[in-house]
Amino acid sequence: MEVSNFTDIILPKSIKQPEKCDYCGKPLPKRHVVHKNISQENSEHKFCSRLCKEKWCHEQALK
């Protein structure tokens, strides 16, 4: 496949719209924290750090 323009290059979705932390909204690094809870409607939550995960869990416990 020959590319004549940079606009012809198709980027994966993760580069166009990187996944974001469920707590702070920062883009997720390559190594991130995943919290799975099958009792929730959205069973998988992704966080940029362990600290964000702990803050999110604390807020959920107060609800």
Amino acid 63: pLDDT: 80
Model confidence at 58: pLDDT above 80: yes
Closest residue by Cα to residue 45 from 31, 55, 34:
34
Per-residue confidence (pLDDT) for residue 6, from 0 to 100: 65
Q: Where are the alpha helices (DSSP H) in 1-63?
A: 13-16, 50-62
Reply yes or no on whether the pLDDT at 9 is more than 90.
Answer: no
Output the pLDDT for position 45. Answer: 94
Write down all domains in the chain, each with its CATH number in brackets.
18-62 (2.30.170)
Q: Are the CB atoms for 21 and 29 separated by under 8 Å? A: no
Q: What is the pTM of this model?
A: 0.69
Largest Cα–Cα separation, the chain? 56
SS3 33: strand
The pLDDT tens digits of the residues spanning 10-44 come to 766 666 678 899 999 999 998 999 999 888 788 89
